[in-house]
């Protein structure tokens, strides 16, 4: 149980804003839940989120213990790029699903993270589990970041929405680009009658990808381009759909292009991520080394 007395300078602030300013470890989402479940009381009474605090109000906060998650912890070797008490940065291998779902109940990145971080998780949504900041497709390799608390997860997601969080990918695409550098601004939506596939749709969500061709490779009678892509937005399959849209699908992408004898997955690797560390308050950058299959192609 935590208690705080409101001083004169904070008079008139909304209850949720006052709590957020004085208890950094609590996310806005968690504060709202605690107020609505009567775990946050003002002068021993329940109040609405919008309640305006008054001088000398006695605010008590009772944070329930996070429950054990139903997800299974599994000892699966991982390439850990960085870890501290707030985040863990993983270089995900190709072929690994990020989160358990129908068809993939275990053996996922989350199952592995639970085993590694079980003693340093403070809870997401009331459960002792890691918070996913962003996802990668099963066959896309590279950087995935997990938050160890709901507050850290919320901070990083806010940075993504504010375009502070930078994600750069390396892709190998079919053909030679006429424009060696450019910006693809084409909205993306779920394809009709498909659960997985996305498409360019004028009524879809805004999707922007910047790209720069780093090199061109002649393999047999074909030309392939090594391309750096930076996401300005984060739509499902964004790079894959955008490269297909400009007639340069990713090598090996069977969903949006063609299969390849050169690689048995889409040639896409999330190699660089930058953001402001929520606790250290300094810019950080993490780089994931290229996997062997893409390294051999290059």
- Backbone torsions φ then ψ of 93, nearest 5 degrees: -80, 160
Asked if 81 and 286 touch (Cβ cutoff 8 Å), the reply is yes
Catalytic residue among 86, 137, 139, 253: 137
Report residue 128 as tokens.
Answer: 């002792």
Cα–Cα distance measured from residue 229 to residue 272, given in angstroms and rounded to the nearest whole number: 10
Nearest alpha carbon to residue 19 among 61, 62, 55: 61
Taking a C-beta distance cutoff of 8 angstroms, is the pair 169, 209 a contact? no
How large is the C-alpha radius of gyration of the chain? Answer: 23
* Tokens of residue 108, six digits: 């996922």
Annotated catalytic residue 137: yes
Residues with a catalytic annotation lie at: 137
């Amino acid at each position: 149980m935590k208690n705080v007395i409101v001083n004169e300078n904070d008079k008139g602030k909304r209850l949720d804003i006052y709590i957020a300013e004085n208890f950094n470890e609590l996310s806005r989402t968690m504060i709202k839940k605690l107020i609505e479940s009567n775990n946050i009381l003002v002068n021993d009474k329940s109040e609405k989120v919008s309640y305006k605090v008054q001088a000398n109000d006695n605010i008590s906060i009772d944070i329930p213990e996070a429950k054990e998650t139903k997800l299974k912890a599994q000892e699966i070797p991982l390439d850990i790029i960085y870890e501290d008490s707030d985040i863990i940065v993983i270089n995900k291998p190709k072929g690994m699903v990020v989160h358990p779902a129908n068809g993939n109940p275990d053996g996922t990145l989350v199952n592995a993270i639970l085993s590694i971080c079980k003693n340093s998780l403070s809870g997401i949504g009331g459960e002792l589990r890691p918070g996913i900041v962003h996802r990668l497709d099963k066959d896309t390799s590279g950087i995935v970041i997990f938050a160890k608390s709901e507050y850290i997860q919320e901070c990083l997601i806010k940075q993504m929405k504010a375009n502070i969080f930078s994600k750069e990918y390396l892709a190998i695409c079919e053909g030679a680009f006429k424009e060696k550098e450019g910006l693809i601004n084409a909205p993306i939506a779920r394809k009709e009658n498909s659960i997985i596939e996305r498409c360019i749709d004028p009524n879809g969500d805004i999707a922007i990808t910047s790209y720069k061709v780093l090199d061109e490779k002649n393999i047999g009678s074909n030309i392939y381009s090594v391309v750096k892509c930076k996401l300005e937005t984060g739509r499902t399959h964004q790079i894959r759909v955008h490269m297909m849209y400009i007639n340069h699908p990713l090598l090996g992408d069977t969903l949006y292009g063609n299969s390849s004898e050169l690689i048995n997955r889409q040639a896409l690797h999330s190699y660089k991520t930058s953001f402001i560390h929520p606790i250290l308050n300094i810019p950080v950058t993490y780089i994931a080394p290229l996997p062997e299959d893409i390294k051999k192609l290059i």
